[in-house]
Structure formats: C-alpha cells, structure tokens
Structure 1
Amino acid sequence: MPAIVLVGAQWGDEGKGKATDLLGSRVEAVVKFNGGNNAGHTIVIDTAGQREKYALHLLPSGILSPGCTPIIGNGVVIDLEVLFSEIDGLEARGVDTSKLVVSGAAHVITPYNRTLDKVTERYLGSRKIGTTGRGIGPTYADKMSRVGIRIQDLFDEKILRAKVSGALEFKNQVLVKVYNRRAVEVDAVVDELLGYAERLRPMVADTPLLLEQLLDAGRTVILEAGQATLLDVDHGTYPFVTSSNATAGGACTGSGIPPTRISSVIAVIKAYTTRVGEGPFPTELLDADGERLRDVGAEFGTTTGRPRRCGWFDAVIGRYATRINGVTDFVLTKLDVLTGIEQIPVCVAYDIDGVRHNELPSSQGDFARATPIYEVFPGWSEDISKARTLEDLPENARRYVAALEQMIKAPISAIGVGPGRDETIAVRDLLR
C-alpha cells in the first residue's frame, strides 16, 4: 500500500490541514515531516450539527481522525511547551491524543534558539526575512552545525547537559557581545527541558521502523508537509523561505521512508494566492480586491494572526510546483472565496524587462522584477458552498477550474467550496 506525500503548492496556508483531514479517516498514519510551530492548519469539522474549528500548529492533522496514528517525524523541530499546550487544549475538547508518536531523532527548540531568532530579526531591520520568531531557523542551523539537542537527549541528563553547555559557549558570546543581551544559564535550559522528559517518554519511538512496519502490513500513510513549495529552503524564493525542505523530496529525509515507497504526490493550491512575510509576490493586490480576498477568505495566520498578503492565482507558480514535486493530483481550495467577482484575472506568465517568461525564473533578481501577464476569466455570483459535484458548479466556475487544471499541468482531483470537512467536491479518488 502507498505512502502519499501531501504538500503546499504556493507560499503556504493553502488548506493542507483540510486535505489531510479529508484523507485521514481512510489512512492509518499521518506524518509531519518538516517545520515546527511556525505554521498552522485550521480544520473545521461539523459534529452533530455544530461546527467545530481546530487550530493545529505542531501536531499532524491526523490527530483529529479516530483510528489514525499521528506521527511527528525526525525532520520536525519541536517546541515542547507548544507541543504539550496543544495536546492539553485538544484533550480539554474531548480529542484523544494518546496515539501520538514522536521521533527520538527530532530536534528540540531550546529557549536560546527562540531568543536568537527574535534578536537577529530585529538586528536585520529592513533586511529581515519575516520569521515568526519561534526559534525554527536557529534550531535547524544547530542541527546542521551538529550542536543541536534531539528528543532522545532528554532521557540522559549527562548528555543533555554536555550538549547545552557546548552550544552556549558560543551562543552566549553572540548574545552578550553582539546583541547586548544577557547570557543564558546552562542549568536553566537543562532544568526546563528535563521537566518534559517523563511525559514525553511514552510517545517516543523509532518512527522510520514503525512506518516500514505499517507499509509492509498494507497500511496507507500520508506524509504531510509544513509550509509549502515556494518556502522550501532549496527550491523556494530564497532567502525569503523557511529553514527546511517543504517539497516532496523532504518527505523522505524528514520521515525515514525511502522514495521507492511513495506512490503519489498531492499538492494543495488555493484558487488565488497568498503569502505571509517578506519577499517578492508578483500577483499581490494592494487595493480593494486584495482586501476583499483577505476578508472573505479569512486570510489571517493560524499561528501568528498576521494578515496574509493576497493576490490573483499564479499559474507559473502552479506549474513550478508540479515540476518540483512530481504532483500527481491537486486539491484546489477556497474556490468559494471568488464568488461574486465579475472578472477574475489569472497570471499565465511573467514580464521581466520586456521579455515573456512562462516558467519561474531561477534568478532571485529576475523574480523580484517579474510583473504578471494576466488572462481574465468571467466570474460567477451563485452560492457554490452546497456543490458536491462538478455539475453543481456554475458554468463559469467549471470553466475557471478547467483552465487552471490545464495551466498547472496536473489534474485537479478535489475542490474546496467552503471551510467545512464536507464542503468539498471529489472529482477523482485521491487514494485510487
């Protein structure tokens, strides 16, 4: 049975949580393979006629699907305070989190990582990246510099103390001499981290081995990306990216599943485009249309609450996502947000210094100068939230979807027409 990768096709916030949740009842495990609590999923579930909204930041979306094993993979960086706060919040609402599994090889976000993240952004001033200040980047930097703290280190105080002490020898020099901040005490960090150890211990497992056993037993596994394609540290709009690999390739290194076990790649893409943070955004709307998309689409960050930058659909980015990830199916979300717009522009190419570019430029400078070349499609005014088949959509909505599918060069297999779990048109079976 397959391992299925689920990624975001734009700059994040496309609705991956809803897509994972739709599949969650039909799979045995959902693995988060990258990122940390710097991004979130909002999932809306209708239960007994009552609509419940859940905001997840660190936990995999499968946590809300009974019978599904949610797994935090080795590629994730974990703020333990956030992890247990999120678990406690779900438990208080009656959600069973007892099946959660955490990789012992995942790295821990330490207090000094959070401090360094915040002071570095302030120090950069106008050159800031637009991080969330949650210590994600410094933790990944520690991982690559081989001075990071892993989950398994919390179960051996001697090893933990030695690693924290070694890391702080340099970091305290930076905090004190460069940023004029107070030095961080080794004992304070060790004590804080040890305080989580006993509660954490039953959750920790050899997750690559567990995943191999599930797949060998004929179970289906979803590998869920945090962030999105254009935020991938290698393949995104560098340097305005996250600190991990959010594309399909990262699913293997971040979970321990080999590439030969992956059968399909599902990418989630909005019917328009948004991004949070700094960096170029060719179709960004700084006018009433942008405000409308933000208000109607409730485009505010799940984790940060920051208003998202909004723009028209960018087919160049969609094609790039198809190519980089090997997308087999798209899930198109928030089509309902476009209802009531008379004319809907779609970016089909870029103009860069008078030259048409049909593909995403590899040069950061070229992308920063790109201006969109639009094709305009007629909109629709009918309420589509009750649509459950393609035939239920107005003709202009069907034409819009068909045009996007042709432009992004992979089939659109599901369409979101509202925030609820059931407000989806299933065009093709994603687990076929």
Structure 2
Amino acid sequence: MIDLLAEKYDIVVRYQGGSNAGHTVVNKFGKFALNLIPSGIFQEHAVNILGNGTVIDLEHLCGEMQKLRDRGIKITPDNFKISNRAIIVFPFHKEQDALEEDRLAGAAYGSTKRGIAPVYSDKYQKKGIQMGDLLLPETFQKHLETVLEWKNLYLKGVYNAETHSVAELTAWAEKFGGPLLPYICDTSDYLYHASKAGKNVLFEAQLGALRDIDFGIYPFTSSSSPLASYAPVGSGAPFLKVDRVLGVIKAFSTCVGEGPFVAEWFGEQAEELRKIGGEYGAATGRPRRVGPIDIPATRYGIRMQGATEAAITKIDNLSYLKEIPICSAYEIDGKVTADFPYTPLLDHAKPVTTTMPGWGTDISGVRKYGDLPKAARDYIEYVEKAIECPVTYVSVGPERDDIIIR
C-alpha cells in the first residue's frame, strides 16, 4: 500500500519510530524490508525524509542504505534527507533494551531490542543527542561526555553491565555518522518551502494504533506515536494539515510482541494462517501472532487514527477457509461489549466470534471489485460497516499491482 501511494506524492516522511519495525515492499525492483528509510525511495521523483520524531541507529541506517544501493536504488542528498533534530540511537541504548528485557524475564514487553524505549526515554529526560550534533564535532563531543557519564552510572549501577568510553563511541559515530553528514539538514525548513510550492506530502507511519504510547495497549506499546495527528509534529511540519488518512488493516489480525490479543489463534490453526500469510516481522523475522479480524480493536484503531478511508489487505490469504471467522465483540466478566476497553480489562476479555461463508477460490488475479466472489464482497462490506469507515482499497497480493480500487 505504501509503495502504491508513494507513486503519487512528491515527498514521503517517516515521522516516528526507529529501526524496530517497517514495511515490506514488493515492486519491480524486488522484495525489500525497510526499517528506517521511507518507502518513497523507490520513486525517482520523490524526496524522502526522516523527521525529528524518529530515532536513528547510525549503523543500521548505513547498512540499510548500502543494501538498497547494492540492488540499484539511488540514494543521494537530493532524494533523502535526515532531520537535524532526530535523536541518535547509540549502542548502549540497544544494550540497555536487552538488559531490561532480561531483567523483566517472564514479564517482558516483547521489545525488538533495537534500543527504542531507552532512546525515547533519554530524549524526554533531555539526555538525547541529535543528528545535527554530528555536523558540530565540538558540540557532539561535549554532549557525549555529559550523557555518557550519566549513562555509565546507570548501566553499572542498575544492571552491573560494562561501561563505555567517549573514545569508543566517538569512533563509532565517526564511522557510521560520517557517511550521513551530507543528508542531515533542517527538514522543517525544507517542508515549509515545499508546502508553499504546492508539493504533496505523504506521512508514513510505523506500527499501528494499538502500539501508540498514549492510546495503545500500554505498556505493550512502542515508545512513540504512530497516530496520524502526530505526523505534522514528528515530521517537523506542524504548519501542515493532514487532510486524508488511510487506515491500513489486514483481513485478519496480526501482532508482533507481547501484550493482550483477545482474538489470538494458537497451534495448527494459527500456524496455517501464519504460513499462508507469510506473517513474520519485517524488522526481526519473529513469527507474528495471528487470529481473525478483531472488530472492536480495528474500529478503535480507525477512530484513533481519524481515518477518512481504509484499505483491507491480504484478503486473498483467507481463500482457504470454508468459513471466515470474525471477532465481532468481547465478553468481559459476563458482559458483551463492542467497545475496545482500557488495557487491563483485556486480560479478562474473551472473543465473541461470528462466521461468514468463505469463497473457496483464488482471488489473487481479480482487479475489479465486482469480479470478486459475492462472499468476499460481503465480508469486505461487513467490515466496512462494522468499523464505520469506507474501504477504498482491497489488496489481493503483495505487489503494487495486486490491488482493487473501489
């Protein structure tokens, strides 16, 4: 979906998150798993931006850029820009992430161990180091010395872990930050002038509404906000107004990481759907948890995103089912509710399941809505009504052309 949409936009901006998730893109160049770089990188005309709301692992980004270049994708300062206000993810952030998950043991949050929670924590404690500091070596050195003194006390005192030296991390920053220097700039200023020139901007989120730090299944969330309303702030363009929000939902439910998942399937039933859907994390390769579409959670996500339209993807993966199960409501302590509850109550929730007839035929070649089997159209229209949002796209395969536009 993001690859399809990017074709029509001048600028694509990632506005939150880091290398902990991303988008799997299949197009004429092949199959790619993007973690940090915006999906517009495959469009020759598009400018791609990592906004101030993102957190950037210099080493990971350099590696991702090289993998794309190795496959013929052009990346230059003209088509890729990094906000000077984005925060750097250091090796100690990833170490701290792993140490905390180990400490939590059975109560772990299911972190990707990419350092995301520690680096956002540092940002809001005003102990983060911004990308722009790499352009000012003396400033960078001063900030690093101050931050590292504090961080070493934390690593040693809390986890009895090894500490780091300024020289070690300076060398790391020079090795992986040096190649990025031409890309670092005031992206807010760039977006301001681009908007004045009438350029179209696509904000690309990472993760979904239930992983939002404020409105997700806290504390089993990410540490940033993937909500559309945060996009202008996280991109450096609070002067822009989001006038179209496309909520992308799968025809069934998936989840990477820990936390409540009311509609979850287990065993052979889950493994069959997981294999058919290729449900493994784009960042980690971890098998995703799967289940039928969860209407209370999906409706809530659509609402919190302020979605003006929705896309249903992977509906072709349900073709093997004789009956299509739907989690239409929850039962919590004997009461049935269609609303998505406060997170701790999810631990007491049981799915209320209804079924619809399956269509039992391959639909991956269908390109017109009217050519879909009636059972498939009935399913789409049921979901559309239940989530209270028009479905404008239906995806029947992983490639850009595997799409039905309603």
The aligned runs of 1:325-364 (5 Å cut-off) are 325-362=305-342, 364=343
After superposition, the C-alpha distances for 1:119-164 in whole angstroms (9 at most, x for unaligned) are 1111111111111111111110110000101000112222212222
1:308 equivalent in structure 2 = 288
> Identity of paired residues, percent?
39
Partners of 1:41 and 1:365 in 2: how far apart?
A: 29
Where does residue 170 of structure 2 map in the other structure?
190
Residue 262 of structure 1 aligns to a residue whose secondary structure is: coil
- Give yes or no for contact 2:228–2:242 (8 Å, CA) kept in 1: no
Q: Is the 8 A contact 2:58 2:177 kept in 1?
A: no
Identify if the C-alpha distance between structure 1 residues 260 and 186 changes in structure 2 by more than 3 Å, giving closer, same or farther: closer
Aligned residue for 1:414, secondary structure, equals strand
Match in the other structure for 2:36: 58
Residue 227 of structure 1 deviates from its aligned partner by 1.1
Matched, 1:256 2:229: no
Q: Distance in 2 between matches of 1:193 and 1:164?
A: 10
Q: Is the 8 A contact 1:299 1:307 kept in 2?
A: yes
- The answer for unaligned runs of 5 or more in structure 1 is 1-18, 428-432
CA distance in 1, matches of 2:305, 2:162: 44
Residues 60 and 124 of structure 1: is their aligned pair in 2 closer, same or farther, counting only changes over 3 Å? same
SS in structure 1 at match of 2:245: strand
Are residue 380 (structure 1) and residue 344 (structure 2) matched?
Answer: no
* Residue number in structure 2 paired with 1:412: 391
Instruction: Give the distance between the partners of 2:109 and 2:162, measured in 1 at CA.
Output: 24
Q: How far is 1:172 from its partner?
A: 1.3
Change (3 A) 1:182 1:236: same
Task: Tell me if the contact between 1:58 and 1:83 (Cα under 8 Å) persists in the aligned partners.
Answer: yes
Partner residue of 1:397? Answer: 376
Asked if the contact 1:155–1:197 (Cα under 8 Å) also holds between the matched residues in 2, the reply is no
The counterpart of 2:61, out of the listed 65, 83, 106, is 83
How many residues are matched? 404
Pairwise CA RMSD of aligned residues?
1.2
The 8 Å contact of residues 131 and 277 in structure 1, kept in 2 or not, is answered as yes
Q: Which residue of 1 aligns with 2:206?
A: 226
Give the TM-score, by structure 1 length. 0.91
What is the TM-score of this pair, normalised by structure 2? 0.97
Match of 2:243, SS state, is: strand
Does the CA-based 8 Å contact 2:232-2:240 persist in structure 1?
no
2:18 partner letter: G
Q: How big is each residue's C-alpha offset from its partner over 1:384-411, in whole Å with a ceiling of 9 and x where there is no partner? A: 1111111121110000000000000001
**1:22-421 alignment to 2 at 5 Å?**
22-46=4-28, 52-98=30-76, 99-258=79-238, 261-362=241-342, 364-421=343-400
Higher relative contact order (CA 8 A, sep 6+): 1
Q: Deviation per CA, 1:206-237, whole angstroms, max 9, x where unpaired?
A: 11221122222222110011111000000100
| CA deviation vs aligned residue, 1:242-264 (integer Å, no higher than 9, x gap) | 00001112212201223752111
CA distance in 1, matches of 2:28, 2:42: 12
Q: Work out the CA distance in 1 between the residues paired with 2:240 and 2:50.
A: 21
Q: Which runs of 5+ in 2 are unaligned?
A: none
